[in-house]
Amino acid sequence: MEQAEQITHQQLSDKQLAVAIESILFVSGRPLEYTELRKLLAINDKRLASALQTLAYDLASQGRGIRLQSSGEQVQLVTAPENARYIAALLGLPQTAKLTTAALETLSVIAYRQPITRGQIEAMRGVNSDRALASLLQHGLVAEIGRAQTIGRPALFSTTTEFLQQFGLSKLADLPHITISSIDGAQSNRAAETKPTSTTQQSKTESEG
């Protein structure tokens, strides 16, 4: 019986599966694991991936008020980012979260290098990031997701589904493409800006000696 039911589900088109997933996610009201959807629909990874792609495309291309959002092994329905001001007004929430330049810089590092430790963030930025990281945690844009398997087991930070929602992204792959050297280059430029002072002081000390 179960085998026959699975065959029936496998015979459904991607469009039919996409509609079924939309209904499931709407009723659940929370992110669902891919494993949950595979079990509910009795389909394999390939069929699920194809159906999710179909659903995401349909929602976006038709200008619907909801979008499909993927984060790791989870997926959920969220409101379209262009309607954020209306949702904020309904819920009595501030329409924008004010972030400092330091917080935005820290968020960029985390977004492109996640999961990442506090020490790694500060090594890239060249400055203490405690306050910026605390602000991002407070706004729910990043979260601690575990511990690194290194000495001291420092906390690992990653962006959240709230980050995706606030920046109008369906998944992390939608982030603007940049090369890792671009991020590292920014760190090198920051370091270079401090070198003249150190060199001048060194030259002055040598001349005095």
In a domain, 94, yes or no: no
State mean pLDDT over 195-202. Answer: 38
Q: What is the CATH number of the domain that holds 164?
A: 1.10.10.10
How many other C-beta atoms are found inside a 10 Å radius of the C-beta of residue 103?
Answer: 22
Q: What is the pTM of this model?
A: 0.64
In a domain, 200, yes or no: no
Cα atoms found within 13 Å of the Cα of residue 31, Cβ hemisphere only: 12
pLDDT at 1 > cutoff 80: no
Please give the residue range of the domain that contains residue 52: 2-89
In this structure, are 177 and 107 located in the same domain? yes
pLDDT in tens, 135-190: 999 999 999 999 999 999 999 999 998 898 888 888 888 898 876 555 555 555 55
Q: Which residues of 160-187 are buried (b: 16+ CB within 10 A; e: fewer)?
A: bbbbbbbeebbebeeeeeeeeeeeeebe
In a domain, 30, yes or no: yes
Give the pLDDT score at 111: 94
The domain boundary residue, chosen from 89, 123, 140: 89
Nearest to 124 by CA among 137, 97, 139, 133: 133
pLDDT in tens, 57-101: 999 999 999 999 998 899 999 998 888 888 888 878 676 668 899
The domain boundary residue, chosen from 33, 64, 89: 89
pLDDT in tens, 91-140: 786 766 688 999 999 999 999 999 999 999 999 999 999 999 999 999 99
Q: How many domains, in total, are found in the chain?
A: 2
